[in-house]
């Protein structure tokens, strides 16, 4: 099993979502000691935003690109390759102003590429990243689960479903800014969910 952990918080190691993702990955690797792990921290090493030069480079045939364009496409290619190789993706998605972080949006813009991670057919779009499992760790200051204010879950389901990833598990840590008791309860609940997922993975592997 190849695991790709993508951290998108700008808070570094102090991030709750990063800490929870690390716990999940640790438990998964106990379940499968032969697994491999790649960690990409978008907060510490943010990816370049999709802008006009990047779009021009992507739409220029490879043999006609300038050295600068070739280099720009290459940094997106590295992200795509990591995703294509992964069997399991563990993604952190802290809520910033009711949405995902800018580093995460830049990563999604880089990995969503026509003809590579999805394609258009006569019957509609087809995702090309089938057979992968995605775990999304959601960290929120307030409580927004299953409310109209939660724009993250519908967006992430849509974009990854478009890419062919439909096996998605969301892990919630909500109310983190609502006092010590609420924060402790949120983290405890997330830990319980993560540990239950790990137990399921161990049971499935044993079977």
pLDDT digit string (tens) for 53-77?
Answer: 999 999 999 999 999 999 999 999 9
- What would the two tokens of residue 11 be? 């808070």
pLDDT digit string (tens) for 16-26?
Answer: 999 999 999 99
Three-state DSSP class for residue 35? coil
pLDDT band at 207 (very low <50, low <70, confident <90, very high): very low
d(CA 13, CA 129): 29
Closest Cα partner for 138 from 90, 195, 200, 197? 90
Looking up tokens 């790990």 gives: 198
In order of their start, the domains of the chain are 2-206 (3.40.50.360)
Closest Cα partner for 174 from 183, 166, 165? 183
d(CA 17, CA 186): 11
Closest Cα partner for 138 from 122, 148, 150? 150
Predicted pLDDT of residue 149: 96
- What would the two tokens of residue 158 be? 């849509």
Predicted pLDDT of residue 201: 62
């Amino acid at each position: 099993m190849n695991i790709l952990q993508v951290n998108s918080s700008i808070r570094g190691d102090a991030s709750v979502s990063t800490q929870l993702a690390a716990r999940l990955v640790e438990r998964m690797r106990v379940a499968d000691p032969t697994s491999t792990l790649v960690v990409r921290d978008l907060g510490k090493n943010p990816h370049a935003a999709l802008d006009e030069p990047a779009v021009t480079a992507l739409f220029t045939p490879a043999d006609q690109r300038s050295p600068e364009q070739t280099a720009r496409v290459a940094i997106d290619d590295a992200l795509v390759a990591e995703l294509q190789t992964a069997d399991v993706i563990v993604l952190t998605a802290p809520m910033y102003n009711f949405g995902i972080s800018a580093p995460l949006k830049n990563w999604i813009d880089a990995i969503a590429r026509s003809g590579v991670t999805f394609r258009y057919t006569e019957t509609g779009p087809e995702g090309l990243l089938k057979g992968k499992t995605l775990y999304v760790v959601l960290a929120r200051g307030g409580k927004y689960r299953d409310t109209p204010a939660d724009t993250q879950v519908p967006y992430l389901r849509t974009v990854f479903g478009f890419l062919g990833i439909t096996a998605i598990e969301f892990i919630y840590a909500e109310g983190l800014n609502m006092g010590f008791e609420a924060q402790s309860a949120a983290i405890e609940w997330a830990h319980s969910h993560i540990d239950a997922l790990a137990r399921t993975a161990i049971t499935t592997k044993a079977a």
